Structure 1
Amino acid sequence: MAEILPLRAWRYNHTLDQNIENLTSPLFDVVTTKQREALYRNPVNSIHLSVPLGEYPAETAARLLETWKEEGVIAQDPLPGIYVYYQYFRLSGSDKEYCRKGFICNIKAYDWKEGVLLRHENTIPSAVNDRIELLEQTQLNASPTHGLYTDTAFRLEPYMDESIKTPIYETEDYQGVRDVLAVIHDHEVIKLFLDTLQDKQVLLADGHHRYEGSLAYRKKMRARNPEHTGYEPYNYHLMYLTNTEHDDLRILPTHRLLADIPMTDEEFLDRLREYFVVTPKEDPYELNEVIVGKQWAFGLYLDGNAYKLRLKPEVHQQIDWNFPKEVKELDLTVMHYFIFEKILGIYRQAQRSHPGLTYERNFTACISKVDAGKARLALITNDVSMEQVKKVCYSGAIMPQKSTFFYPKVICGFLFSSIKEDEFITAAAACL
């Protein structure tokens, strides 16, 4: 099913990459304003390609890219390879060091209807348009999206483990994560990677807008090319692939904050009791712990008061959204249906753009923002399991917005992938 290819990556020259930590940057959709300001001050930081500045940012990035190539700021690796990428990290409250194992390659930009690459969330059209323009102007994938494949036999891990012993780069990123990059050039091993993915579906974990950008660009170029074969460089997209069967694949929860609600606290709590068992709690900083492992359970922090909410099982069948069973069973579907739509009157389509709704991944920040008056209430949720993500993707449905936060995020700057005709490795060359 999934066709992948090695790549001849563009990377910083050996003089610059001795300080690779000064060249990497967060992905375009997670970088903060403060981080951007600091990164932009470095004229050769990768952010200038991934999140360019200027009145015409895509054109600015394209000109800069050509300058970097001409001046040797970046150079293309002489051999095609599969780039092994490991991320070592810890989670708050735990001493365990996790290691997310994966590899970076080119993958064909499959249309959703082909059923090879599956999504779990919708995209915002304006953000996709920005990515299309940037790709069209630069002909470059500046950062990999994140995809998931399932291999219970772990066929590729021994080769990745061996490769990572001799890294190209090793650094600590803005998340406090230790990122390590290595490369595999052996033709037989590369062929094993290609063969292993041939019968796999891929679930898109992160980077829906960038992937949609590649998909739209492929469609555009295909329409222009009467001799389209499917192997032209514009058919491909840069992706970081990880195995769903790893215990160290972590998905963190994303909590909800509301700036205000159209009723008093007492009225809101009374409405909640129609659907939920509402239990007051003394310590708001334990809200994330009292709901762990409990289905359809949430923490509520409302004007300095903490509550545990647990849906009454008998009301679950009231959900009349036209979703498959796999989606209706999700905690966030329950939250968005009963709390946002039924109680607060914010209907499903309006929830995606509701001005008073914001998202926060840091639990303690939720409490702090309510205490500081920056939000009227916080809704604390559990994380989504990998098994739930699989079920929803395979059902062909979409999860509620901001359902998953795969941690850690991939960083930008280790390598770039060109889709220019004379810089791209074809399928024939890859399988020497």
Structure 2
Amino acid sequence: MADIRAFRGFRYDLGKVGELSHVVAPPYDVIDEALQQKLYDLSPVNAIRVELTKPEEGDDEDNNRYTRAGQTMRDWLASGAVTQDTARSLYVYEQEFTAEGQTFTRRGFFARVRLEPFGEGKIYPHEQTMSGPKADRLNLYRATNFNLSPVFGLYPDDDGEVFAKLEPLIRKSPPRVATDHLGVVNRLWVVTDQATISQVIGLMGPKSVFIADGHHRYETGVKYLEEQRAAGQVPDDEAAPNFCLMMLVGMSDPGLIILPTHRLVSGLPPITSDRLQELLKDLFTIDHVGDDATAAWEHVQMDGSQLCLGFGTVADGKWVVAKLRDPAAMDGVAPDQSAEWRGLGVSILHKLVLDRIIKDAVGGEAKCQYVHLLKEVTDAVAAKSCQLACLVPPAEMEHVESIAGNLEKMPPKSTYFYPKLLTGLVYNSLKKD
């Protein structure tokens, strides 16, 4: 059973820090230097100053961006800029946003969730992780002793019964509101009614939780807990390090959408459209050839399957849409994976096309940059900053649930749950209950 808890979160005192929009930030993994500076300029207490602190010349083991983040958080607590709520609460989080010309509203709630190693309970990952981000986040956990950014978790709830318990309460009071740099409107309500909290926890108990985003943060939480136990800092199973901050959203929520993650591939010799078609023709049906990326992407979308991929050859500015004729072609290149995993578009692209067909024929070592918007793809092709642009259909929720439930992990960057969850709406202490 997933162990979900209300908690006494730490939040900004808006009477001291000003507008909420000026103190929140996206998570570290989507922030470039320009956005980092913009957020620094917004407020001296913007969450960026702990979430992604700037390095400085002369940084060493004793004085670096992690130690500065820790001191910054301690300063905010001492000054009262950030204070702890008095009642154990659940924090309802609503995001209103536009994607692909449509307006959506995604709703869920922040809670503490008991950490457990993957494969040993009811919390399942769905993507592979990399060591670099985990080492970075662990250093930050050690320095601040806080969950700064939430993990994004999903739970099955076809009838919406969990959120139905929370909705009557949040409509009785105005939310805190922050509009982020992308125009997403973020709303937060605090739910302190203990009867409602007990009902929500009871309904969540039997459910599995699938991590949508924040795998690195979750695995870092498990590692931090192991370290704290070894140091004698976890007196019992109720101590704060046993838990992580998580945003929980029902899989049937109408605002839960997955955007595609396209690949810009470099590290290859130049390859033309004719050459690519020659390489693919034995296993793929060529459905479209042209010079318009939009037409190629529309073709992939109209097909609606995971078997259809788009390829832009930068050498001649052409676009090809190819569909795998027989999914059994994946059996030999990914024999240890399930049929569901082998059927993913991203798996077909990496295992069959890039790692086998193209590598065997032209050599090179494919290196991918990941983007989500078609304009980012066309800009890269126009700038000739890659050799091959790959349009990949997004995975669906059913893929996440079936593959993760089978204790498998999708390839990295298989999903992109838009929008990202903001940092700074509520912080969770790893030391204080």
Answer whether TM exceeds 0.5 for this pair.
yes
Residue in structure 1 matched with residue 382 of structure 2 by the alignment: 371
Deviation at 1:346, TM superposition (A): 8.0
Distance 1:227-1:127 versus aligned 2 partners, 3 A rule: closer
Distance 1:264 1:84 in 2: 50
Deviation at 1:269, TM superposition (A): 2.6
Distance 2:40 2:177 in 1: 22
Distance 1:120-1:241 versus aligned 2 partners, 3 A rule: same
Matching of residue 328 in structure 1 with residue 369 in structure 2: no
- Which residue of 307, 316, 319 maps to 2:329? 316
Deviation at 1:39, TM superposition (A): 1.3
**Residue identity opposite 2:67 in structure 1:** E
Distance 1:415 1:314 in 2: 45
Deviation at 1:290, TM superposition (A): 0.6
Deviation at 1:263, TM superposition (A): 5.3
| SS of aligned partner of 2:136 | helix
Distance 1:389 1:36 in 2: 31
Residue in structure 2 matched with residue 250 of structure 1 by the alignment: 257
**Residue identity opposite 1:93 in structure 2:** G
Deviation at 1:161, TM superposition (A): 2.2
Matching of residue 287 in structure 1 with residue 261 in structure 2: no
**Residue identity opposite 1:416 in structure 2:** Y
Distance 2:360 2:220 in 1: 30
Residue in structure 2 matched with residue 190 of structure 1 by the alignment: 197
Deviation at 1:225, TM superposition (A): 3.1
- Which residue of 405, 418, 428 maps to 1:407? 418
* 1:204-283 correspondence runs (5 A): 204-225=211-232, 228-262=235-269, 264-265=271-272, 266-278=274-286, 279-283=288-292
**Residue identity opposite 1:51 in structure 2:** L
Distance 1:311-1:243 versus aligned 2 partners, 3 A rule: same
| SS of aligned partner of 1:83 | strand
* 1:67-86 correspondence runs (5 A): 67-86=75-94
Kindly tell me the number of residue pairs found equivalent between the two proteins: 416
| SS of aligned partner of 1:203 | strand
8 Å contact 1:326–1:395 — kept in the other structure? no
**Residue identity opposite 2:88 in structure 1:** P
Residue in structure 1 matched with residue 157 of structure 2 by the alignment: 151
| SS of aligned partner of 1:316 | helix
Provide, for residues 52-78 of structure 1, a one-character-per-residue CA deviation record: whole Å limited to 9, x for no partner.
Answer: 234322211111111111111111112
Matching of residue 139 in structure 1 with residue 137 in structure 2: no
Distance 1:199 1:294 in 2: 32
Deviation at 1:392, TM superposition (A): 0.4
8 Å contact 1:319–1:328 — kept in the other structure? no
Matching of residue 114 in structure 1 with residue 120 in structure 2: yes
Provide, for residues 87-140 of structure 1, a one-character-per-residue CA deviation record: whole Å limited to 9, x for no partner.
Answer: 11121233xx21111000111111113132100112221211121121122111
**Residue identity opposite 2:246 in structure 1:** M
Provide, for residues 157-216 of structure 1, a one-character-per-residue CA deviation record: whole Å limited to 9, x for no partner.
Answer: 223322332233112112221111001101111111211121111101101111111110
| SS of aligned partner of 2:414 | coil
Residue in structure 2 matched with residue 391 of structure 1 by the alignment: 402
Deviation at 1:316, TM superposition (A): 2.6
Residue in structure 2 matched with residue 30 of structure 1 by the alignment: 30
Deviation at 1:48, TM superposition (A): 0.9
**Residue identity opposite 1:307 in structure 2:** V
Distance 1:216-1:227 versus aligned 2 partners, 3 A rule: closer
Distance 1:335 1:160 in 2: 42
| SS of aligned partner of 1:384 | coil
Distance 1:355 1:10 in 2: 44
8 Å contact 2:271–2:387 — kept in the other structure? no
Distance 1:273-1:49 versus aligned 2 partners, 3 A rule: same
8 Å contact 2:284–2:324 — kept in the other structure? yes
Which segments of 5 or more consecutive residues in structure 2 lack a partner in the other structure? none
Matching of residue 180 in structure 1 with residue 181 in structure 2: no
Residue in structure 2 matched with residue 48 of structure 1 by the alignment: 49
Distance 1:118 1:238 in 2: 16
**Residue identity opposite 2:68 in structure 1:** T
Provide, for residues 34-61 of structure 1, a one-character-per-residue CA deviation record: whole Å limited to 9, x for no partner.
Answer: 1001112332111111112343222111
**Residue identity opposite 2:290 in structure 1:** K
Which segments of 5 or more consecutive residues in structure 1 lack a partner in the other structure? 425-432
Residue in structure 1 matched with residue 353 of structure 2 by the alignment: 339
Residue in structure 2 matched with residue 61 of structure 1 by the alignment: 69
Distance 1:110 1:10 in 2: 24
**Residue identity opposite 1:342 in structure 2:** R
Distance 2:252 2:234 in 1: 40
Deviation at 1:227, TM superposition (A): 7.7
Provide, for residues 277-320 of structure 1, a one-character-per-residue CA deviation record: whole Å limited to 9, x for no partner.
Answer: 22313532122211111341011111311111111226535433
Q: What is the aligned-residue RMSD (CA, Å)?
A: 2.1
Distance 2:221 2:284 in 1: 44
Distance 1:122 1:211 in 2: 12
Deviation at 1:14, TM superposition (A): 2.8
Which 10-residue stretch deviates more, 334-343 or 308-317?
A: 308-317
Distance 1:214 1:261 in 2: 38
Residue in structure 1 matched with residue 318 of structure 2 by the alignment: 305
**Residue identity opposite 1:254 in structure 2:** T
Which 10-residue stretch deviates more, 166-175 or 85-94?
A: 166-175
TM-score w.r.t. length of structure 1: 0.91
Distance 2:12 2:206 in 1: 34
**Residue identity opposite 1:26 in structure 2:** P
Distance 1:101-1:365 versus aligned 2 partners, 3 A rule: same
Distance 2:416 2:429 in 1: 28
Provide, for residues 368-391 of structure 1, a one-character-per-residue CA deviation record: whole Å limited to 9, x for no partner.
Answer: 211121122211011110001101
TM-score w.r.t. length of structure 2: 0.91
Distance 1:117-1:263 versus aligned 2 partners, 3 A rule: same
- Which residue of 79, 82, 90 maps to 2:98? 90
Deviation at 1:247, TM superposition (A): 2.7
